[in-house]
Amino acid sequence: EPFKWASATDPQTMDPHAVSSAPVLSFLNNIYEGLVRRGKDMSIEPSLATSWVPLEGENGWRFTLREGVTFQDGSAFNAEDVMFSYERASSEASDVRSWFAPVTEVRVVDDYTIEFVTSAPNPLFPDSIANFMILDKGWAEANDAALPARDAENFATMNVNGTGPFMVSSRDPGVKTVLTPFGGWWDEATHNVTEATFTPIGNAATGLAALLSGEIDFISPIPLQDVAQVEGRDGFKVLEGEETRVIMFGFGHEHDKLLYSSDVTDKNPFADPKVRLAAAQALDMASIDRVLFRGKIEAASQLVPAGISGYSEANADRPAYDPEAAKALLAEAGYPDGFSFGLKCTNDRYINDEALCRAAASMFAAVGLNAELSTGPVRDYWPQLREDDFDMYLLGWSPGTFDMEHPVRFLLHTQDDEKKLGSWNFGNYSNPRVDELLPLVQQEIDPAQRQAYLDEIVQITQDDVAYIPLYTQPLIWAAKENIDLTQRADDFFMLRWVTVN
Amino acid sequence: MIAFLKRSEGLWLFVRSPAAIVAAVVAVLIIFGAAFAPLLSPVNPYDLSSFSLFDGLIPPLWQEGGNAKFLLGTDDQGRDMISSILYGARLSLIIGLAAMVIATVLGVGLGLAAGYYGGRFDAFVMRIADVQLALPAILTALLIDGIARGVLPADMQGDLRIAVLTIAIALSLWVNFARTARASTFVQMNKEYVQAAIMMGQRPARVMFVHILPNILGPLLVIMTVDLASAILLEATLSFLGIGLPPDSPSLGTLIQIGMQFLFSGEWWILWIPTLFLVALVVSINILGDFLRDVFNPRLR
Amino acid sequence: MLVIKDLAVKFPSRFGDVTAIEDVDMTIAPGEIHGLVGESGAGKSTVGAAVIGLLPTPGYVAGGELTLGDTDLRALSREEAHRLRGDRISMIFQDPQTSLNPLMTVEDQLVETIQAHSDVGYEAAHKRAVDLLEEIGIENASARIKSYPHQFSGGMRQRVVIALALCTDPEVIIADEPTTALDVAVQSQVLELIRRLADTRGIAFMLITHDIGVIAQVADRVTVMRHGKVMESGETRQVLGAPEHPYTRALMAAVPPLDRRIERFAIPEPEAGGAGAGEAAERWLLEGVGGAATGLRVLDLSVQFAGTRTSLFKKPEPFTALHDISFEVRPGSIMGVVGESGSGKSTLAKVLTGLVSPASGQMHLGDAPLPGAKQRGRGHPSRQLIQMVFQDPYSSLNSRHRIGAILAEPLWLYGLVQEAGARRELAAQMLDLVGLPADAIDKYPHQFSGGQRQRIAVARALLARPRFLICDEPTSALDVSIQAEILNLLKDLQANFGLTILFITHNLTVVRQMADDMIVLRRGRIEEAGSTEAVFEAPQAEYTQKLLSLTPVMPREWQIAG
Amino acid sequence: MVYFILKRLVQSVFVMLAVAFLAFALFRFVGDPVSQMTGVETSVQDQEKLREELGLNDPFAVQFYRFTTDMLRGDFGFSYRTRQPVAQMISARIPATLELGFVALLISLIVGIPAGVYTALRPRGVTSQTILMVTLVGVSIPTFVIGIMLIFYFGVKLGWLPTFGRGGTVNVAGWETSFLTVEGWRSLILPALTLGVYQLTLTMRLVRAEMMEVMRSDYIRFATARGVPMGRLYFRHALSNTLVPVITIIGLQFGGVIAFSIVTESVFQWPGLGLLFLESIRFVDIPVMGVYLVVIALFFVIVNMVVDLLYVAIDPRLRVRDAT
Ligand SMILES: Nc1ncnc2c1ncn2[C@@H]1O[C@H](COP(=O)(O)OP(=O)(O)OP(=O)(O)O)[C@@H](O)[C@H]1O
Ligand SMILES: Nc1ncnc2c1ncn2[C@@H]1O[C@H](COP(=O)(O)OP(=O)(O)OP(=O)(O)O)[C@@H](O)[C@H]1O
Ligand SMILES: [Mg+2]
Ligand SMILES: [Mg+2]
């Protein structure tokens, strides 16, 4: 059956190693495959590798590759292709190099066996390369695409040759891309799509109109406020789920004064955990949920949502909404009349991000925390955060490895450029015990012990109010009633699970 | 004396034109409401502590679920719509008026001088005008926005947003004034009163501003009204493209842009009330502009 | 036979209906030229427009009869009236420059008009058009017919206009000031043509004009109008030769004669206030003049204008507006400059006033050299000593300034009177001097008639305490009666203050009345120079003779001595 | 004539250079391309290296020189976002925008001119007043609101017309055209209407004002006086004389069409230059933005040349002067 779908952005390239962005990786997962892949529940399952075991005597993993797999151009798949793809993906021109930061060596053992050696024990390594897609060495080299394109185009920018279930039959960047099933796919096709057409539609209202007028079968995402409208119509359905992304506020822990305050200019009140707790207590998550998110969000207590490995059940409570207590805490901390500060937010990155910040600013103001809100597009946002240009900021984090370790490494560990730790810990929250625990977590094989370490980290950071976790970002997809599809928590849309009835 | 006569002439036409009367009443009401927004509106929508998300999405009074506290309902932040609109109209008018004034001063100044001196200077000004025309309003605004973003420190951007928008809009409007002023000046230059002034040895500035300017005000006034209307609309469009004012200090355009999200979700008032308000304002300004055109061009009556 | 009876036309306005014309009776027989004269605003055009049914909105015919042969023109429907237009009645407008559609060839316009009224094919229509053009005197008509209007000269264009009005063989043609915009030479040709057409084709003409000379030359009968009413009507010889109505008589008196000089003009109704007042202003002026008058000498003066550029590589040919002209204006005298349109008269004025730079030559004001425009700084004494009165009283005063401000400007600019109150005082007295009421000072120019405005312009010039006054066609936009007032005023000023005046005009009769000496300009060269009496009595240059012979004159016996 | 064209050309070059300079200079201040080009996990050192590679650390003048000379050589560089050659991206989008603009302009002329003539001839009529009022309200509603309303009414509610995109296009000699398929035309209607409404009103009001002015001119009075049939009078005599100012303004409006096509294209997901430009802004894709500006300026310059030539075609007075 023909199938048409739309999303807000077009994958900017067809090269799986050139840009590490969700639209690109999501789209290319229908065409290219990695050694492992994620199932409907995000679990890791065999793909081009049939099995993997830890190396003996050294750190790393051995992958046994699937035999009889062919690329879409007919050439056979073997370990050389994996080796080539590794080299390509870890080259300087690649945008996905960081996945291979722990890798010290890759060895081709035979045509269908390959070993990845890592610098330290790395139980999560197979998880971390689920989006590492394999190219055909011969094809890439013959077409001068041995390296990803960085500042000029190459053959792989517009053309594909994967082992996956779909191939590109035509592509007009920014306009439309047509996929057709690959007859020689090694796996059994469960979908019934004969031709899939993808169109980017940037304007949410237009996208919704396209769905309702029947021109497309599926769109992701749709605005929360339109859910009721779609659900109320015959022949349409809404798929609601939760992304793994937790939205939070961060603080400038290490700043010695506020940058945007009109009253407190000589010190940083947010250095005081009481003030941070007061901020957390000022937020009325119930109203945010009801009004802004139409009851579609789950409040968050920690940096990963429940269900992610390493989630700390023991610390599942978040500070309650209590403006009086917040005021008291502020008074206790020496700010009975509150103070003003700058709050930085994006306006095009997360669902309702700007509205959220405005609502939060208004709630903060109710307890005396007068936020000077400044919102902007994400294109200017990261550089500002990198330059420490904030008092408080909004951040969303999705654990790439679907494990609690990921945010601990990026958001909680003290900044350490050399070891590439705490690289997104903009406010440089720093707790020696957390820093100590991270390596333990990373190397611990025993799940119970590992969880204990993580519980301790969560406990510490909750006590410190290192961040104010707010909620898990909802995932809202809409489709025609006759479409069966699977919504995966990473917001990736897999054509191979689509059935058109 | 003549002013009085002219006025009474205008007044006479005015009384005969119901459209102009209605437009004037609407425009005056809106401008009055905007000017006295702080006194008239129930709450200050820029004061974050004056509203609460808890009151979000309340429909207008006459609809089910309405609340007497919020006559026209609230938006998704719990802001009272009336207050938002009055304050929004205020910002829109301030930006529109300021842009128009800047464009007028710049355009009329350059146009007058180009018409007066002619020759190279005229050619130069007209080429600059060409460049400006080759960069349509939206592009100009995007460009200025771009520079401001790059040049100004991040914390000033919020405050300077209005200035940036105003300048961007003004820059895209001045050519109109310059061309009209220049063309009218050319006509006036051949009039004998100008020749008389030049012959007497009066300073160019005096000839331009004391003698010529009052004589070309008519068409300029018409452009001013039309451009005021387009400035207000342009601001709305820029907000739609994401380079307008931030939502926490919304203009009418920003309010409409915010309202667009609720086009189909049932909360119609968040979009349509500000839109109606904007349309009423722009239409009435345009009608007044048409009316002025008639007054200044008796031949078209 | 066109018969107009008791015609009244009204214009609704905010003060109620304004009656533009009333009780107008007129009959025009085939082959007759019926002149319609009167001052501006008398209602002449309104009569013509009412006949052809093209009154400007919102005007309407309020009463009376309009019949053409058996047809009652007032009873026609919109469509019928439109069909009649062109077919039986046509009209010619004043300005040939604007009467033709600039985007269509003459042929298109002619053929279209012919075909609109008779069922003929293109060939026939074309032939008729060419014949017609030939008949009215366009040479090589079969080729010229393909031209666009702008490719014809003014006179030829007016012929084309006449051809267009004629091409459908109408019974009546209304000619609304058909020669006012034309040179004397062209004017006489057009008038001849009209006369001939009336005689040969039997067309009835209504000839609207304010030039009594024109009427005298061609009209069979004449109607004199004033304030929307007929003053007098009858045979031309009768009305102009032996006017009965006092207004007609006054009008006749104001017409300057060509063949002799009169001291002062008779004025139909003296303006209120009158000259002779404003003694303070007079004294102030005399103080400044302080005795001797100033003359002007011009030697080998040339003026060139840049031509329009048509090629990137060739420099454009400059256009020479004045060729090496030399003349001298005696102190305290009036020098007349005459010449047809485009002969360089205004250019001469502009060089002298410093608006245009000369290409070569010298000028002396009194004994001091007078630098050209570029060298003449804004503060140069001549800026004050030379003043000018412009042709068009409607545009020479800034319509946005009050009379007081206009008059005070030279006093302020030249630092003649320091104190604002005193300036105003002096301005008021000067108004008195030129014969305007004192309350004029707070009015705006548009509240005055053309003649009054011209007086204000003269007052402004005088307030600079000039020694040398240039008048560029100061009366050509005015009616004869008002022209007479202004000319009288200028004569008085010259006599009282010893002003030296350069008087520019294209009207020979006016020059004869005003100037002591005169020069005749043609294409930027002086054709003839000498004392006015000498030139008029015994013109030397052929061109001067031609001009004199073409100027329409009334038979001497019709003129009332001034 | 030749001189006239040459002079226009020289002026155009000046305009183009100035626009190129602006485009280049201004976009240097927009955002940071490197942080856009690289993913979340690229280190600061790598970013710095890339910046060096792209020449973003070179002095301003050097970069501008490189920009213009490259452009003159036809080398428009590569998009930071997609890594494709900018020339290819832009040229692929030109047909969509030009066809949209063309149809919008056509609508505005086909409807606007007769409406302008009509309202000029019957200035006090009820129909005229209604037309004037409705169009006035039409231009007072922001374009994006109109666009969305049209989509929902004709696309969703009635289901008559497509809601987004260009529908079926046919490639004719490298030009993707919507004109050859029914689907293409159906897709064109709504965006072209949205874009055209504004221009339509302007055209109509302009024609009306000019027409009223011309109707009072001597030559129209004279043509009436000699009984030229009404139809010819209005359309042959009057209308053609309004064309010069109308064409001037339409030429100038071209800028407006292009500018507003940004909004229209984003509402209708119309794959034209405007949409590309908006995307490029979002991703700080400087090469694309710069070239876009220059291309727009080029269109403008060309349109103005055409307008000048049209003057000459319409008005015989502007043709080479023959000696008279
Ligand atoms: N469109 C109009 N609206 C109102 N009043 C008008 C209009 N046209 C003419 N009139 C009135 O009709 C009177 C006669 O005007 P008309 O044009 O017939 O004079 P005229 O004798 O032709 O003058 P001129 O020599 O200046 O052409 C004027 O005084 C004026 O008051
Ligand atoms: N600024 C100018 N540029 C080019 N040519 C000019 C300019 N001013 C005048 N001319 C030309 O110089 C010639 C003389 O013009 P001028 O105005 O002096 O004539 P005039 O005798 O005053 O005519 P009129 O009786 O029509 O006022 C004309 O052919 C005119 O075309
Ligand atoms: Mg008249
Ligand atoms: Mg002259």
- Tell me: the pLDDT tens digits for D102-121? 898 888 888 988 898 888 88
* D313 CA → ligand 4 middle, Å: 33
Q: Which residue of B has its CA nearest to D15?
A: B131
- Decide if pLDDT at D324 tops 50: no
Average pLDDT rounded to a whole number, residues B75-83 = 80
Q: What band does A392 get if pLDDT is binned at 50, 70 and 90?
A: very high
Higher pLDDT, residue A312 or B165: A312
CB neighbourhood size of C542 (10 A): 10
C142 CA to centre of own chain: 34
Share of chain A above pLDDT 70, in %: 100
Q: Does C4 share its domain with C143? A: no
* Cα–Cα distance measured from residue C9 to residue C23, given in angstroms and rounded to the nearest whole number: 9
Q: State the distance between the two ends of chain B, measured CA to CA, in whole angstroms.
A: 23
A151 in contact with D, Cβ within 8 Å? yes
Residue A408 has what pLDDT? 92
Substitution site in C45, C176, C179, C394 for ligand 1 pocket (most atoms within 8 Å of beta carbon): C45
- Decide if pLDDT at D168 tops 50: yes
**Strand blocks (E) in C128-237:** 172-176, 204-208, 221-226, 229-235
Residue C274 has what pLDDT? 46
Q: Considering every ligand atom, which ligand is closest to the CA of C344?
A: 2
Q: Closest partner residue to B53 among A342, A363, A374, by Cβ? A: A363
Residue D224 has what pLDDT? 86
Higher pLDDT, residue C559 or A308: A308
- Domain contains C502: yes
Taking CA D144 as the corner, what is the angle to CA D141 and CA D150, rounded to the nearest 5 degrees? 85
Residue A20 has what pLDDT? 78
Residue B112 has what pLDDT? 93
3-state secondary structure of C142: helix
Residue contacts between A and D (CB atoms, under 8 Å) = 129
Domain range annotation of chain B: 71-300
Q: Both tokens of residue B9?
A: 């002439």
In a mutational test of the B interface, the residue from D16, D29, D129 whose CB has the highest number of chain B CBs within 10 Å is D29
- Domain contains C381: no
Q: Does D159 share its domain with D254? A: yes
Average pLDDT rounded to a whole number, residues C70-96 = 84
The answer to whether the Cβ–Cβ distance between D163 and A200 falls below 8 Å is: no
Q: What is the ipTM of this complex?
A: 0.80
Q: Both tokens of residue B126?
A: 């007209």
- Decide if pLDDT at B9 tops 70: no
Q: Does C213 share its domain with C354? A: no
Alpha helix stretches (DSSP H) within chain B: 2-15, 18-35, 37-40, 81-117, 119-134, 137-151, 154-189, 192-199, 204-206, 213-240, 252-260, 268-296
Q: Closest partner residue to A153 among D53, D83, D92, by Cβ? A: D83
- Decide if pLDDT at C342 tops 70: yes
Chain A residue numbers with beta carbons less than 8 Å from the beta carbon of D282 are 348, 377, 379
- Domain contains C110: yes
* Cα–Cα distance measured from residue C137 to residue C158, given in angstroms and rounded to the nearest whole number: 11
Q: Both tokens of residue A62?
A: 């051995």
pLDDT in tens, C28-76: 999 899 999 888 778 888 899 898 888 887 888 888 888 888 888 888 8
Q: What contacts 24+ positions apart, CB below 8 Å, involve D120-129?
A: D120/D207, D120/D208, D120/D209, D120/D211, D120/D212, D120/D215, D121/D211, D121/D215, D121/D234, D123/D212
Q: Considering every ligand atom, which ligand is closest to the CA of C507?
A: 2
* Cα–Cα distance measured from residue D1 to residue D312, given in angstroms and rounded to the nearest whole number: 10
Share of chain C above pLDDT 70, in %: 93
Average pLDDT rounded to a whole number, residues D16-23 = 82
- Decide if pLDDT at D270 tops 60: yes
Report which protein residue has its CA nearest ligand 1's atom 8. C56
Residue D121 has what pLDDT? 84
* Cα–Cα distance measured from residue C68 to residue C220, given in angstroms and rounded to the nearest whole number: 19
CA proximity to A173, closest of A198, A138, A205? A198
- Domain contains D79: no
Q: Does C289 share its domain with C325? A: yes
Average pLDDT rounded to a whole number, residues C474-478 = 79
Are C351 and C363 within 8 A, CB to CB?
yes
CA proximity to C61, closest of C87, C39, C79, C43? C43
Residue C278 has what pLDDT? 66
- Kindly report the nearest CA distance between residue D14 and chain C, in angstroms: 18
- Decide if pLDDT at D279 tops 60: yes
Q: What is the DSSP letter of A225?
A: G
Q: Does C437 share its domain with C526? A: yes
Higher pLDDT, residue D252 or B255: B255
Q: Does C105 share its domain with C17? A: no
Domain that holds residue C114: 92-167
Q: What band does D43 get if pLDDT is binned at 50, 70 and 90?
A: low
Domain count, chain D: 2
- Domain contains C265: no
Average pLDDT rounded to a whole number, residues D153-174 = 82
Indicate whether residue C210 lines ligand 1 (CB < 6 A): yes
* C133 CA → ligand 2 middle, Å: 30
* Domain limit, last residue, from D11, D43, D72: D72
Residue D40 has what pLDDT? 53
Average pLDDT rounded to a whole number, residues A204-232 = 87
Distant-in-sequence, close-in-space partners of C429: CB < 8 Å, separation ≥ 6: C278, C279, C280, C281, C284
User: Mean pLDDT for chain D?
Assistant: 80
CA proximity to C213, closest of C254, C156, C242? C254
Residue C502 has what pLDDT? 93
Q: Closest partner residue to D83 among A152, A379, A423, by Cβ? A: A152
Residue D320 has what pLDDT? 54
* Cα–Cα distance measured from residue A345 to residue A355, given in angstroms and rounded to the nearest whole number: 10
Indicate whether residue C38 lines ligand 1 (CB < 6 A): yes
Residue D42 has what pLDDT? 61
Taking CA C338 as the corner, what is the angle to CA C336 and CA C344, rounded to the nearest 5 degrees? 115
pLDDT in tens, A352-390: 888 899 889 989 988 999 888 888 777 778 878 888 889
Residue B2 has what pLDDT? 45
Q: Does D63 share its domain with D97? A: no
Task: Name the pTM for this structure.
Answer: 0.82
Average pLDDT rounded to a whole number, residues A245-263 = 89
Q: Does C78 share its domain with C120? A: no
Q: What band does A143 get if pLDDT is binned at 50, 70 and 90?
A: confident
CB neighbourhood size of C292 (10 A): 11
pLDDT in tens, A70-88: 888 888 888 989 999 999 9
Alpha helix stretches (DSSP H) within C178-225: 184-201, 212-218
Distant-in-sequence, close-in-space partners of C436: CB < 8 Å, separation ≥ 6: C273, C452, C455, C456, C459
- Domain contains C263: no
Domain count, chain C: 3
Higher pLDDT, residue C238 or C284: C238
- Domain contains D303: no
- Domain contains C48: yes
Q: Report the CATH number that the domain containing residue D183 is assigned in CATH.
A: 1.10.3720.10
Are C407 and C438 within 8 A, CB to CB?
no
Q: Both tokens of residue C419?
A: 């104190």
- Domain contains C186: no
| Poorest-pLDDT segment among B270-279, C467-476, D162-171 | D162-171
Indicate whether residue C12 lines ligand 1 (CB < 6 A): no
User: Mean pLDDT for chain A?
Assistant: 88
Are D82 and D286 within 8 A, CB to CB?
no
Q: Does C496 share its domain with C417? A: yes
B265 in contact with A, Cβ within 8 Å? yes
- Domain contains D306: no
- Kindly report the nearest CA distance between residue D203 and chain C, in angstroms: 21
- Decide if pLDDT at A188 tops 50: yes
- Domain contains D315: no
- Domain contains D145: yes
Q: Which residue of D has its CA nearest to C78?
A: D230
User: Mean pLDDT for chain C?
Assistant: 84
Q: Which residue of D has its CA nearest to C51?
A: D225
Q: Does C341 share its domain with C218? A: no
The answer to whether the Cβ–Cβ distance between B263 and A374 falls below 8 Å is: no
A420 in contact with D, Cβ within 8 Å? yes
- Decide if pLDDT at C273 tops 50: no
Are C507 and C476 within 8 A, CB to CB?
yes
Q: Does C49 share its domain with C96? A: no
Q: Does D58 share its domain with D121? A: no
Q: Does C227 share its domain with C353? A: no
* Domain limit, last residue, from D42, D72, D102: D72
3-state secondary structure of A339: strand
User: Mean pLDDT for chain B?
Assistant: 81
Which chains have 3 or more CB–CB distances shorter than 8 Å to chain C? Answer: B, D
Chain C residue numbers with beta carbons less than 8 Å from the beta carbon of B197 are 398
CA proximity to B191, closest of B173, B202, B207? B207
Q: What band does B113 get if pLDDT is binned at 50, 70 and 90?
A: very high
Taking CA B201 as the corner, what is the angle to CA B195 and CA B202, rounded to the nearest 5 degrees? 85
Return the CATH architecture of domain B71-300. Orthogonal Bundle (1.10)
Residue B155 has what pLDDT? 58
* Cα–Cα distance measured from residue D50 to residue D32, given in angstroms and rounded to the nearest whole number: 12
Are A196 and A168 within 8 A, CB to CB?
no
Q: Does C239 share its domain with C355? A: no
Q: Does D264 share its domain with D179? A: yes
- Domain contains C271: no
* Cα–Cα distance measured from residue B235 to residue B251, given in angstroms and rounded to the nearest whole number: 8
Domain that holds residue D259: 89-282
C399 in contact with B, Cβ within 8 Å? yes
- Domain contains D313: no
Q: How many CA atoms, within 13 angstroms, populate the side-chain half-sphere of residue A241?
A: 20
Nearest atom (ligand 1) to Cα of C9: 12
Q: Does D105 share its domain with D214? A: yes
Nearest atom (ligand 2) to Cα of C521: 21
Q: Which residue of D has its CA nearest to C164?
A: D226
pLDDT in tens, C410-425: 888 888 888 888 888 8
- Decide if pLDDT at C272 tops 50: no
- Domain contains D46: yes
Q: Does C455 share its domain with C486? A: yes
Q: What band does C107 get if pLDDT is binned at 50, 70 and 90?
A: confident
Q: Both tokens of residue A349?
A: 């990155």
Q: How many CA atoms, within 13 angstroms, populate the side-chain half-sphere of residue C507?
A: 24
pLDDT in tens, B181-239: 998 898 888 888 898 898 888 888 999 998 898 888 877 887 888 888 888 888 888 87
- Decide if pLDDT at D18 tops 70: yes
